[in-house]
Amino acid sequence: MLLDSSLEDRRRERHLVAVRAATAGVLVLLALLLVVVRLMRLQVDQHEYFSVLSRDNRVKVQAVPPTRGLIYDAQGVLLADNHPSFSLEITVEKVEDLAGTIEALSAIIPVDAKDLARFERLKRQRVRYQGVPLRLNLTPEEVARFSVDSHRFPGVDVRAELIRTYPQGALTAHVLGYVGRINAEEMTRIDASDYAGTHFIGKGGVEKAHEGALHGHVGYQQVEVNARGRVLRTLEGKAPVAGRDLHLFLDLDLQQAASDALGDNRGAVVAIDPRTGGVLALVSKPSFDPNPFVEGITQSDYHALLYSPDKPLFDRAVRGQYPPGSTVKPFVGLAGLASGVVDARKAKFCPGYYQLPGQSHRYRCWRRGGHGTVALEQAVVQSCYVYFYDLAHSMGIDRLQGFLKELGFGARTGIDVAGELGGLVPSREWKERARKQPWYPGETLIVGIGQGAFLATPLQLAVATATLANRGHFIQPRVARSTQVPGSPDSTELPAVSHPVEVGDPHHWDQVIHAMTEVVEGERGTAKRIQTKAYRIAGKTGTAQVFTVGQKESYNAARLDKRMHDHALFIAFAPVEDPRIAVAVVVENGGHGGSVAAPVARQLMDARLGGSRLLAKEGSGRGD
Amino acid sequence: MGIRPLSQGLDPTEDSAESSLLARLHLDAPLLIGLLVLCAFGLLVLYSASNQDMGSVKRQLVRLGLAFGLMLALAQVHPARLRSWSPLVYMVGVVMLVAVLLFGDVGKGAQRWLDLGFARFQPSELLKLAVPMMVAWLLAARPLPPSLPRVLGAAVVTLVPVLLIAKQPDLGTAILVAAAGAAALFIGGLSWRLIAAIGIAAAGMAPMLWYGMRDYQRQRVLTFLDPASDPLGAGYHIIQSQIAIGSGGVFGKGWLNGTQSHLEFLPERHTDFIFAVIGEELGLAGILALLAVYLFIIYRGLVIAANASDAYGRVLAGGLTLVFFVYVFVNTGMVVGLLPVVGVPLPLVSYGGTSMVTLMAGFGLLMAVRSHRKALQF
């Protein structure tokens, strides 16, 4: 019985387990069938969809930035170069623990406080998903050290890029400007797709004005990347179009000469070739080294420049607006001749003051006793105020300012240096608009001697002088002569924009030029100290009263004194017969134009016309 | 004289041409062939998934050798002896689990390892064998089907280690150990009424389970329900593995040609997510071939269970076989997006030693049950 039940139990057990095993087998089949159904949905139904996702995963389109065009001076000297550099960049959006990442990075690659400060600043200004540099100019060893550990740092990359350098440094800083990292504000102005991959953009000067030519056009490549975004290979792409090289009219020798001639003075020099409108030299002093700006200058260095009382960042040549003073007299004289209110041969009497009809107020000449009887030539040479008071009064402000504007005063010249200001030629409309007051006849007199609200930039003075030298052929000033496809002879001359300035009888030009020649060559000429036998110079000195600078600087009495001095101005061109250079010089607080500004112009002309060599010969000849 | 199996005729799959060498080694030929095919397949996939790193393949091969050695050794043990060892093995396992919680090494945020001085050991692995052994020991003491107290006893011996393991925390292993106990109970004849009751109770307990989970475990469940909610974070695994499988299509991108795997979009590609590599490179066809091999091994295991000579052998063999299936199902289900992500490897294919050794030891026990069908002669 026991045996029976035991056998029965064993039979039942065996049956039970067999049924359970079979049931389990069925359940296993059903479960795996579920997996297979799911697989069929993924691999058959949605295969196309996932194929696309898979391809999108691994293929990324990368922008390939174009190489920025180089900039050369008239002699082919390199003024702006591209220098290969490795930088360590963090794409902030891809990094979870930024502080921890930077800390871990600094264990491999030294990062100092300056780097961190720059990183913080650039991070605030960044464009989203664009790398922000933490360290610049990595050494090859640092690059290697990072590469070994790079898998630990997703979102951190070593970027090889071309960094703009300016071999001439401060000498060309104002005219060239500089490039810097594109900020969020600039991003809204540019074609973002063309700048994908480009990190730098012209921030001023020629770099900004010729941004389009210098930048080129973006290329792209389709690359296979892994999950960490590392590029494994290039599949296909379109090469970028490199930016065009820029060849300038600017002559580094003249630039150097102008800078040397200004010495430690604050001021500006603009030299133009009257035949082309090409700017030969454009100097503003003091200057600054543009190279630190490219990668982001430190806050403290920047503030030191920005708040320096000498304003080194301020481009006086195209943004400095000065009362032109007596340098405007040749142009006002020309206006008088052109309008017929004066005749070069007819003299006026200068008693030392001028009175408007029916008014008792006396507008003084600089010479108390008066110049006596003066015609146009002597009025220019001796800078007689009364002659020009009368001329301006006779002509009236409307005609006078109209003519001055034809010479380029009162509006931006359109030079290819970004940031230019337009100066100001006072007019009825301006007075009405700006001061809500009517025009008083006495103000016309003040315009006639280049004072009062009348403001001109050194560039405008140089342009007007070049127009005079050209006898009425106004050419818009320009720094760049031509663009060139890098490494090819394919060069494009940039067109000149010009228009004629009519003065009625062409003889009027000669009359004014003759007067300016007398300024240098005449017995009473205010600039006779720069006279040379090597070539003939036509010029005009000027002084501008200082009335705006200095109020904020009353803390320093000694300094204030110097800063209340007049600005010294000088305009000139040479040779008179066949002008090849027109110059405007402003020396801030320099005092008298003839003694301070004119020699600067002379040095520049010597550099241009080879005068110093001739002078040396003269000197040796005299010794014989 | 060698030991001849007495009841040859009972097993329908018995092959009269079976090599006597295999019989002497107590190895089951169909199961052995299935395992060898599976391991060879796994090595090929591993070679690709590890970016053609022969080093990984060689290390895996060494582990396989050790695991097969262990299988061979365990195959020699008579089931009766296994049965008598069961309580001891179980007790040792539980004690070590407690030791791990008290003194264990922390790795990847969980306490799983016990440093024995000469080797690091994961006691939870032992429980994958010890629990079905213990449940089998409990159930086989009386004729099947088990009485309610016995079922409760089996439930207790299962849940104690499961809770200890879940506390480490190691959800994947806890699930497998629980599955081992449950599978053994199921094969042992747990009544359908109780199964239904447990099912209903489990459904009722689900909210409690939710509150008992750790944050990252909850996150996994949420991410499973909606991977797109966190495509770069927790959902990344799921999305990328589905892209890999889906882009593989019917015939795959070809061995060594999976872009998802080789470009590292697929995380854990040579360990827990290796199934996705198969799907990408070998396509649906390759996966079906792999599943067929798994199915064959499970089938053979169930046949061994059904034909075992005693209740202990039946329950143990059935439990071990079904645990193997749970491995396959949980891993593939997780990779194709049917189940939440839990750390369960694809058995004998995923790179890694611990689970492989346990699995092959389990097959060693199966072989032992298969070949020793005669009562032990003391």
DSSP string across A223-234: EEE-TT--EEEE
In a domain, A21, yes or no: no
Quote the tokens at residue A494: 């940039």
In a domain, A51, yes or no: no
Neighbours of B350 (CB within 10 A): 24
- Quick one: what percent of chain B has pLDDT higher than 90? 34
Q: How far is B100 from chain A (nearest CA, A)?
A: 31
In a domain, A1, yes or no: no
- When pLDDT is averaged across residues B351-370 and rounded to a whole number, the result is 88
Please indicate if any CB of chain B lies within 8 Å of the CB of A39: yes
Query: Where among A248, A275, A304 does a domain terminate?
Result: A248
| A434 and A549 inside one domain | yes
Identify the pLDDT of residue A614: 43
Out of A75-84, A94-103, B2-11, B84-93, which region has the weakest mean confidence (pLDDT)? B2-11
Best of A4, A28, A36, A93 to disrupt the B interface (most B CBs within 10 Å) is A28
Query: Where among A232, A248, A264 does a domain terminate?
Result: A248
> With an 8 Å Cβ cutoff, are B298 and A18 in contact?
no
> With an 8 Å Cβ cutoff, are B305 and A228 in contact?
no
| A237 and A257 inside one domain | no
Residues A274 and A278: their CA atoms lie apart, in Å, by 7
| A240 and A256 inside one domain | no
Residues A588 and B350: their CA atoms lie apart, in Å, by 81
Identify the pLDDT of residue B351: 87
Residues A446 and A54: their CA atoms lie apart, in Å, by 77
Identify the pLDDT of residue A295: 80
Identify the pLDDT of residue B110: 58
Structural element, H or E, at residue A183: none
SS3 A406: helix
Identify the pLDDT of residue A619: 37
Where residue B266 falls among pLDDT bands split at 50, 70, 90? confident
| A118 and A164 inside one domain | yes
Identify the pLDDT of residue A198: 84
| A226 and A337 inside one domain | no
Q: How far apart are the first and last CA of chain B?
A: 17
CATH code of the domain containing A371: 3.40.710.10
Best of B302, B303, B335, B366 to disrupt the A interface (most A CBs within 10 Å) is B302
> With an 8 Å Cβ cutoff, are A13 and B299 in contact?
no
Best of A5, A26, A39 to disrupt the B interface (most B CBs within 10 Å) is A39
In a domain, B7, yes or no: no
Domain count, chain A: 2
A20 → closest Cβ in B318, B328, B336: B318
Structure-token match 């067999």, residue found: A18
Comparing B13 with B241, which gets the higher pLDDT?
B241
Residues A514 and A539: their CA atoms lie apart, in Å, by 10
Identify the pLDDT of residue B105: 64
Identify the pLDDT of residue B342: 79
| A459 and A509 inside one domain | yes
User: Measured between beta carbons, which residues in chain B are less than 8 angstroms from residue A58?
Assistant: 259-260, 263, 265
Burial (CB count <10 Å: 0-12, 13-18, 19+), residue B363: buried
> With an 8 Å Cβ cutoff, are A232 and B263 in contact?
yes
B279 → closest Cβ in A10, A24, A43: A43
Please indicate if any CB of chain B lies within 8 Å of the CB of A192: no
The question of whether A326 is a catalytic residue gets the answer yes
Q: Could you report the per-residue pLDDT of A405-457, keeping only the tens digit for each?
A: 999 999 999 999 999 999 999 999 999 998 899 999 889 999 999 988 899 99
In a domain, B74, yes or no: yes
Query: Where among A200, A232, A248 does a domain terminate?
Result: A248
In a domain, B13, yes or no: no
A227 → closest Cβ in B189, B264, B306: B264
- When pLDDT is averaged across residues A495-499 and rounded to a whole number, the result is 90
- Whether the Cβ atoms of residue A548 and residue A410 lie closer than 8 Å to each other: no
Identify the pLDDT of residue A623: 29
**Sheet strands (E) in A193-333:** 200-202, 216-217, 219-225, 231-238, 241-242, 245-248, 267-273, 278-285
A20 → closest Cβ in B189, B259, B260: B189
> With an 8 Å Cβ cutoff, are B305 and A21 in contact?
yes
Across chain A, what does the average pLDDT equal?
Answer: 86
Best of B194, B322, B336 to disrupt the A interface (most A CBs within 10 Å) is B336
In a domain, B340, yes or no: yes
Best of A8, A9, A35, A49 to disrupt the B interface (most B CBs within 10 Å) is A35
The three-point CA angle A294-A299-A300 to 5° equals 120
- Quick one: what percent of chain B has pLDDT higher than 70? 85
Tell how strand A71-72 and strand A245-248 pair up: parallel
A17 → closest Cβ in B187, B279, B338: B187
Q: Which amino acid is at A609?
A: L
Out of A269-278, A457-466, B167-176, which region has the weakest mean confidence (pLDDT)? B167-176
> With an 8 Å Cβ cutoff, are B305 and A38 in contact?
no
> With an 8 Å Cβ cutoff, are B143 and A12 in contact?
yes
Where residue A550 falls among pLDDT bands split at 50, 70, 90? very low
| ipTM of this predicted structure | 0.87
- When pLDDT is averaged across residues B287-291 and rounded to a whole number, the result is 95
Comparing A35 with B13, which gets the higher pLDDT?
A35
| A386 and A441 inside one domain | yes
In a domain, B300, yes or no: yes
B314 Cβ neighbours under 8 A, 6+ residues apart: A13, A14, A17, B187, B188, B305, B306, B308, B369
Burial (CB count <10 Å: 0-12, 13-18, 19+), residue B255: middle
In a domain, A302, yes or no: no
Identify the pLDDT of residue A370: 85
In a domain, B143, yes or no: yes
Comparing B296 with B170, which gets the higher pLDDT?
B296
> In this structure, what DSSP letter does residue B8 have?
G
Residue of A nearest to B264 (CA): A227
- Whether the Cβ atoms of residue B301 and residue B310 lie closer than 8 Å to each other: no
Out of A53-67, A201-215, A352-366, B280-294, which region has the weakest mean confidence (pLDDT)? A53-67
Identify the pLDDT of residue B231: 59
Quote the tokens at residue B327: 């491995």
| A270 and A202 inside one domain | no
What DSSP string describes A529-570?
A: GG--SSS--EEEEEEE---STTGGGTT-HHHHHHHTSPEEEE
CATH code of the domain containing A176: 3.90.1310.10
In a domain, A429, yes or no: yes
Identify the pLDDT of residue A228: 60
Where residue B12 falls among pLDDT bands split at 50, 70, 90? very low
Identify the pLDDT of residue A362: 87
Structural element, H or E, at residue A492: strand A491-493
Task: Assess whether the previous peptide bond of A351 is cis (omega < 30° from 0).
Answer: no
| A257 and A239 inside one domain | no
Comparing B333 with B343, which gets the higher pLDDT?
B333
> With an 8 Å Cβ cutoff, are B242 and A50 in contact?
yes
Q: How far is B370 from chain A (nearest CA, A)?
A: 15
Residues B317 and B329: their CA atoms lie apart, in Å, by 18
B98, HSE (Cβ side, Cα atoms, 13 Å)? 6
| Structural domain for A221, as ranges | 61-93+100-148+156-248
Q: How far is B46 from chain A (nearest CA, A)?
A: 19
**What is each CA distance from A140 to A85, A86, A87, A426, A451, in whole angstroms?**
10, 8, 11, 61, 60
Residues B246 and A327: their CA atoms lie apart, in Å, by 82
Q: Which amino acid is at B368?
A: A
> With an 8 Å Cβ cutoff, are B264 and A226 in contact?
yes
Q: Could you report the per-residue pLDDT of A294-340, keeping only the tens digit for each?
A: 887 888 888 999 998 889 999 999 999 999 989 999 999 999 999 98
Neighbours of B126 (CB within 10 A): 21
| A231 and A337 inside one domain | no
- When pLDDT is averaged across residues B370-374 and rounded to a whole number, the result is 72
Where residue A617 falls among pLDDT bands split at 50, 70, 90? very low
B305 → closest Cβ in A17, A34, A49: A17
Q: Could you report the per-residue pLDDT of A373-386, keeping only the tens digit for each?
A: 989 989 998 889 99
| Structural domain for B139, as ranges | 21-371
| A368 and A337 inside one domain | yes
Residue of A nearest to B297 (CA): A25
Quote the tokens at residue A598: 């004119």
What DSSP string describes A288-302?
A: --SHHHHS---HHHH
Where residue B19 falls among pLDDT bands split at 50, 70, 90? low
SS3 A27: helix
Comparing B230 with B188, which gets the higher pLDDT?
B188
User: Measured between beta carbons, which residues in chain B are less than 8 angstroms from residue A224?
Assistant: 259, 263
In a domain, A35, yes or no: no
Residues A517 and B269: their CA atoms lie apart, in Å, by 88
Identify the pLDDT of residue B363: 94
**What is each CA distance from A288 to A265, A306, A319, A335, A590, in whole angstroms?**
14, 11, 16, 39, 21
In a domain, B236, yes or no: yes
B245 → closest Cβ in A22, A39, A57: A39
- When pLDDT is averaged across residues A25-52 and rounded to a whole number, the result is 90
Quote the tokens at residue A134: 């933490």
Residues A24 and B293: their CA atoms lie apart, in Å, by 17
pLDDT at A268 over 50: yes
In a domain, A8, yes or no: no
- When pLDDT is averaged across residues A523-548 and rounded to a whole number, the result is 84
In a domain, A32, yes or no: no
User: Measured between beta carbons, which residues in chain B are less than 8 angstroms from residue A20?
Assistant: 186-189, 318
Residue of A nearest to B304 (CA): A21
Question: Of A87, A259, A284, A326, which residue is the catalytic one?
Answer: A326
Please indicate if any CB of chain B lies within 8 Å of the CB of A498: no
Best-predicted range by mean pLDDT among A47-61, A144-158, A277-291, B188-202?
A277-291
pLDDT at A355 over 70: yes
What pTM did the predictor assign? Answer: 0.63
**What is each CA distance from A395 to A402, A548, B81, in whole angstroms?**
11, 29, 129
Best-predicted range by mean pLDDT among A538-547, B212-221, B302-311?
B302-311
In a domain, B378, yes or no: no
| A205 and A280 inside one domain | no
Residue of B nearest to A46 (CA): B246
pLDDT at B171 over 50: yes
Cβ pairs A/B, distance under 8 A: 150
- Whether the Cβ atoms of residue A445 and residue A389 lie closer than 8 Å to each other: yes
Neighbours of A316 (CB within 10 A): 25
Neighbours of B220 (CB within 10 A): 21
Closest by CA to B239, choosing from B197, B206, B273, is B273
Q: How far is A148 from chain B (nearest CA, A)?
A: 18
Domain count, chain B: 1
SS3 A196: coil
Where residue A487 falls among pLDDT bands split at 50, 70, 90? confident
Out of A310-324, B157-171, B204-218, which region has the weakest mean confidence (pLDDT)? B204-218
Quote the tokens at residue A354: 């001028």
- Dihedral (Cα; A110, A166, A140, A146), 10-degree rounding: 50
